[in-house]
Amino acid sequence: MIERIIIIEKADPQSFYGVNNNNMQLIRNLFPKLRMAARGSVIKVIGDDAETSVFEKRIHELEDYCVKYNNLPEDVIIDIVRGEQPNEKKSDGVIIFGINGKPISARNPNQHKLVEAFQNNDLTFALGPAGTGKTYIAIALAVRALKNREVRKIILSRPAVEAGERLGFLPGDMKDKIDPYLQPLYDALEDMIPPLKLKEYMDTNVIQIAPLAFMRGRTLNDAVIVLDEAQNTTTHQIKMFLTRLGMNAKMIITGDTSQIDLPRTTISGLKQALKVLEGVKGIGKVEFGKKDIVRHSLVQRIVEAYEHFDKQTGQQDENTPVNNEGNEKTYQD
């Protein structure tokens, strides 16, 4: 009789063990000759040398499946323990499998273009109206690169620019005041990474979410860096951010030039960067339109209604920037 200690390093323990440890109970039933105990990421097993060796091999196969699909169904456990190949989920066009095995994939031609642009360029701009999935796909690409060990970390950033409200009015300390601006990034991550694994990544700085101001002075190596809401950067901010790009790193810049919340006299850094960097090798650009909106169908009709209103009135509203290199009217999400 020997004792083996197996570490679940890659999979989220909650996803691996299942609700109320149902998966672990099934594994116990499939290896009746072994005694085992599981706590956290550690599984301790006692039994015959040959059988514990097979057990360790099967556990790592189950872990690999769980990491890939974020899910470990009962039939898959049975197949793998028996040494059979489980039925593979259809993965054509799937970027990653999110929580509970939900496939996350490009849903329209421009989202497919963003996936291709990310693969072929170190810096990619994704531009377009609210609801087109720019940020969501960008974060999915970053998570895939992390899971595939192409990079060691993900860095997500946004400018903390007020959209009709004042930062100082929010309760709490600086983190409490800033977090609401970063919530869309948290929402996307929570769709893609199990809660315990996400907390581990956040605690160990494998995934970092920070306001744009926190980027100054850093060199970002071995990372996917996503800047969201880039239309609200100043010219100095976006230049600072773009020059953080380090070795084995990729950037995705997302923004909507029709939703600029900067003061009227401030030039949008995104608009200037698009002009300055036009034609530079290694930079991709994907432009989304209102037909690419993947939120509620009403969102597309709202966007179209505002465009129609602008054409009819031909008037500047109170949010239209002045002397801002052609910044257009701004409306909130």
Mean pLDDT of 165-179: 57
Q: What is the pLDDT of residue 168?
A: 53
Question: What is the rounded distance in angstroms from the CA atom of residue 97 to the CA atom of residue 140?
Answer: 9
User: Please, what is the average pLDDT of the chain?
Assistant: 86
pTM comes to 0.80
Q: Which two tokens stand for residue 105?
A: 């994939």
Question: Under the phi-then-psi rule, with left for phi > 0, alpha for psi from -120 to 50, and beta for the rest, what region is 217?
Answer: left
- Specify the pLDDT at position 169: 54
Residue 44: phi, psi to the nearest 5?
-110, 130
Q: Which of 126, 111, 127 minimizes the C-alpha distance to 257?
A: 127
Is it the case that residue 331 has pLDDT exceeding 70? Answer: no
Write down the pLDDT at residue 144.
95
- Reported confidence tier of residue 154, pLDDT bands at 50, 70, 90: very high
Check whether 309 has a pLDDT greater than 70. yes
Lowest mean pLDDT segment, chosen from 162-171, 199-208, 306-315:
162-171
CA max distance for the chain: 84
pLDDT in tens, 76-111: 999 999 999 887 777 778 999 999 889 999 988 999
DSSP secondary structure letters along 47-110? E-HHHHHHHHHHHHHHHHHHHHHS---HHHHHHHHTTPPPPPPP-TTEEEE-GGG-EEE--SHH
